[in-house]
Structures are given as C-alpha cells and as structure tokens.
Structure 1
Amino acid sequence: MENVACQQSREYMFSTSLEDLSGADIVAVREVDSEFFNLLNKYGLEEYYLSLTNAKINIDCFKAMTEADIKEIFNDEIGTRIKFRGLVNEWRLANQLAPISTCCCQHTDQSSASGSISQSDSISSFSGSGSSTYKFSLQNFLDSAVGIKICANYNANNELGASDRETLISNIVRDHLEKDVPMNSAMFDNITGDIVKRFASEKKEYYFQKEKRNGKLYNKYRSMSRAFRKSGFFLNISA
C-alpha cells in the first residue's frame, strides 16, 4: 500500500505547482524522493519537481538519460537544460558513471591557434566537450522556418531589420552553445563573411572586428558564455 506522502504527492502533481504548496505539503513531497528534490533545489530547479515526477522521471532515470532526453523534457528552455544537465552529471559522476555530453567528440584546446579568442572569452575553459572541427552552416539556418522569414523580410526591404539581426546572431550563438563548441576568431570571421555575402547591405564590422575584439556577434557570444560560466552549470571534465 502506498504511504500517505506518495498519495499526497500524486494529487499535487495533477492539481498544483510547487509555488502553491504550503510548508507542510512541501515536506510531504520531499519525503517521496528527497534526494531528487534536494538535487533540483541545489540547481534552482525545484519548481520542476512535480512535473518531472508526474512524467515518471526520477533519479533512476539518470543512469540511462541522454542529451536528447533532456532536450525533449525542456524543449527550448536552454538555461534550464544546462542546469539539469549539470545536475544529472553531478549525480552520474558521484555514482561512477560517465557524464552526459552534447557531443561525442572530445574538445581540443584552441588557445594556441592563430587569432583564437583568449580562454577567458571561450566556453572551452568550463565546458570540456564539443568538436573543434564543427562548422556552422548559415545556409542550413536560412533554410529553416525562422531563416526563411528573415530572408523574406530582407528581400522586401533590401536590408535586415534590427529584430532580424538579433534573431540571426542569437541563433548562431545558440547553435554553438547547445553543442558546447567554443567559438574562436576564425569562426567569427568565417560566419561574418557568409552573412555579408548573403545580405549585401550588411557590414562586416557590425558583426565582428578582429583587431578590436568587438562586434555584435562577438559580444553576444562573450556575454552568454560568461553568464554560463558564472552559473557553474558546465562541468570541466578532461578526457
């Protein structure tokens, strides 16, 4: 027979969110799987406890969980996916299991490459996974639904609007962060070159200025990667 805590927890899963629970109710929920709840709480994800358990997701699932599973669970909530991956990896390492990686390739240090960004400006210093040979395809992005809309707007106005520029830049950075691929000067230069070839009205210096270490694409990547580093949700795992 199920204990009272389990019965109460299941009722809450279908009827309310964690914010609506009283102190006594939260204690009852914690008693069901205190280790799972405490891990979520440590990473600031306690609000997801009920929805996860309602989906039959618990610590036992960590043994076989993949990056694809995490992406399916949290969809486009990139920050939440990063946090949850860190949570799962902490548990897996503590239980002598290999961590989940977003890429099967081991990261190769690029700090000595010509024109590369310093380690403090690259997620390679706190990611540890991702391929140094990865190449972003602008055309593949422009063939997506979002990319097609950007191209249509450009064709209609003969220029990219501020919103479309931001969307383009954000998607480029997101693509690399999701794959844990650190960007360097050569990548910024190549991607910027592709952009100005496709959109003739665009200026290369708007996106990247190699000598000044500046530009919207460069700054977006640097700000986002620094935010992720400060969050501490990337594990620095050496091969």
Structure 2
Amino acid sequence: MEVRGVTWGPKRAPAILHDISFTLSEGEVLAVCGANGAGKSSLLRLLYRHQAPLSGSVIVEGRDLWLRPAREAARIVAAVLQEQPTDFALTCREIVALGRLPHRQGMGPGARDKAVTDAALIRMDLGHLADRRFGTLSGGERQRVMVARALAQDPRILVLDEPTNHLDIRHQLELLRLLRGLGLAVVCTLHDLTLAADFADRVLILDQGRVIADAPPEEALTEATIAQAFRVATRIDRSGGSPHFSFQLDL
C-alpha cells in the first residue's frame, strides 16, 4: 500500500487530515498513534474505503483503491473497527462466515468457505463459542469474533482500529503476536505505546492530522515526539527488554 498526500475533512468544515503519505510493505506491521482527535480513525477509514480522500490517493498493488470495484477491494482489505454491534441475532460462526462474502461463487457458502471460517474460529480460540449468539458474548469475545471475521475474509491488508480494546492482557498479547505472524500488511491504531513499541515494525504518529513521525519504534517514540503529540512531559526508560514510558502533566 502507498498513501500519497491524502487530505480529508467533512463537507463545509476544516480538514482533519493534511497531506498524509506513507508506504506499507507485505508482512509489515504499522502502528498509528496519537492523541484523541489526532485523525487516527479518520485515516483508517480512507484505507478500508469507508470515506474517500478529498485529495491524494490510496494505491494498493499499483492501483487506486477507490477505482477498484467494491467486491474486489473487499478481497484485498479487511477491517476491524472499534464499534461492535450487540444486537446481531447471529451466532459467532455465522458472523465469521460473513467474511467469505467477497469470495463466494454461487448462492451459498462452499466447502472452502466453511473450512476458512472454521480455521478462523480456531485461530482466535473461538471454537467453543462458535454456536453462541453474538449478543451474549463479553466485549473481549466479541472483539475476537470480529477479528476472526476479518481473517476469514482472507485479505492481503488488515486494518484494525484499537484492536486490543476490551481484551484482557493475555488476549492482547496473543492477538498482537498473531498479527505479526500472519504475513499480511497490518495497520492498527494503538493507545498503548509499550504495545506499539514491542509489536510494530514502524510507528506513525499523528498530531492534529499531520504526520510528525514515521519510523521504527525506537526512532519514532522519543520523548520529544510523544510530548508534542500528547502534550505531556515524557520520560522513557530503555534499560529493560521493553521501553517503559512515564508521563506527567507539563504544567
């Protein structure tokens, strides 16, 4: 994926994103970080075709994503969003199977669709919940179902908005390890800077809709950059295996 100078904002309102550019390679994990309102979710919406840029382009495998048919784009890019519907009268298996819709040939799911659905359920440790109603699950369980649906979509690019929300510590670590092992291009927003430092190949930091850093974690997550993005005084202890971040209101 190559994002070339994209700008976006709602109609008759100031722009939220300003001249954003970056590239994403196969197998690379990019964490997007920044304060609330920095434009993280708005940027992701451009990448999974929810909203078109006002200017610039999103190029996927050499073609503009917005010039592809929707069904073709859905075979390439899958998304997991923060919002989780709770009123689905569907089972976990039925929701995960929705990820196969862009690939279906004919009226109903084929043998491969069923096999991919089952594999996604097992991969996200949901086999024992496959026939449970989605609305009866906990927030963390619902989040894992939505990730499984994205995996069933068999994409080449996976876009996730705060995927660790609602997950306990173990499932956070398991999910991020899984994402690293998929071999896909992955873009995800993360509030936890330690998780971003540990699992991302690159960290892109937004401040008021502009990129202020795009580099490996040890170069992007500096005290000065974090202070600019989050308006807090920051200290980083890199003496251990993972960086330890401490923050203070700079009054």
Q: TM-score, normalised by structure 2?
A: 0.27
Q: Which has the higher helix share?
A: 1
Question: Highest relative contact order (Cα 8 Å, sep 6+), 1 or 2?
Answer: 2
Q: TM-score, normalised by structure 1?
A: 0.28
Give the greater-gyration-radius structure (CA).
1
Q: Which has the higher strand share?
A: 2
